[in-house]
Every structure is written in structure tokens, then in C-alpha cells.
Amino acid sequence: MILKILGVISVLIGCGGVGFHIAYNYRREIKTLRQLINILDFMECELQYHLTPLPELCRLTAHEFRDDPGPVFAKLAIEMDSQISTDVERCMQVSLASLKKIPPITRTGMEMLGKNLGRFDLSGQLKGIESVRSDSVRKLRMLEDNRDNRIRSYQTLGLCAGAALAILLI
């Protein structure tokens, strides 16, 4: 009897944990997308008013923004310094591949940014940053719509799935 109770508790905790983990990832996506928008604003100001060179801009960005996706820019600066070619898109892909914890929705914005940086003149780069920023804002609004209901649903579904599985096992 004690083993059944321990089994039921384990199933409830396991399934509930999965639901809470999904909710945590959802919150993390929103946080990193907000951080990416702040980074893009910073980069736009630095390019527009200081004309900061791209590797230095990436180092400044990594220094100012230590939370995700900030460390990607530190890796990007290192990649751009060590590469013989100045293909920022390829350097961004290598930087993103080295950091696996960036959420997919933020990763696509970073890949778009890598395609735009270093390829055009100043006005083209600023337009590219603005394009990535507007796309990120759109995605952020989409994620924030009914955010509380979605998070609560993920948590509830995890617990309910655990309860259903526990009932089936008893």
C-alpha cells in the first residue's frame, strides 16, 4: 500500500513538474525576447550616434546585457575577431550553436540580425535592426496575449495528467 502511495505521489510530482517546466520555458521566452528588443535599441543608438565598429559593438552589448541573449554577442565578437572572412551571418550561426539555451523564438530573431549586420551601409544596418526589432515586438505581443491563462493551463494540465495517470495505475 505504501508503494502505491509513493508511486502516485511520484507520478503527480513528475507530471506536474513537466507542466511547471513548460510554463517556466514560456516565461523565459518572453524574458529573452524583451531582452533582445532592449539589445536592438542599444545597438541602434550605438550605431547611429557613435558609429561603433561591429566587433566593438558586440563586446559593448555583451558587457551591458549579461542575461540571455547577451552572451551570444560576446561569442559573436570573438568569432568576428578570429575569422578571416567578415561574414557576420556565419559568425552568428556559430555563436548561436555554442549556446543551446536560447529559446527558438529569440534564436530566429538573432539569425535575422546576423543576416543584416555587416552586410549593408549604416542606413541599411539600421533598417535591418529596426526590421528585427519590429518582428520581435510582434512576437512578444503574440506571446503576452493571454500569457497568464496559458501558463496556468500548462501547470494545470501537468497536474491533471499526473492525476489521471495515477488513477489509471491504481
So where are the chain's domains? 2-169
Rounded mean pLDDT, 19-40? 94
Q: Give the residue with greater pLDDT, 102 vs 33.
A: 33
pTM (predicted TM-score): 0.84
Residue with cell 552572451: 71
For the chain, give the number of residues.
170
Which of 10-24, 91-105, 123-137 is least confident?
A: 91-105
Q: What are the two backbone dihedrals, phi and then psi, of residue 97, each rounded to the nearest 5 degrees?
A: -65, -30
Comparing C-alpha atoms, which of 83, 85, 63 is closest to residue 74? 63
Q: For residue 86, what pLDDT band results from cuts at 50, 70 and 90?
A: low
d(CA 20, CA 30): 16
Determine the pLDDT at residue 84: 61
What single string gives the DSSP state of each residue in 20-87? HHHHHHHHHHHHHHHHHHHHHHHHHHIIIII---HHHHHHHHHHH--STTHHHHHHHHHHHHH-SS--
Q: Give the residue with greater pLDDT, 50 vs 85.
A: 50
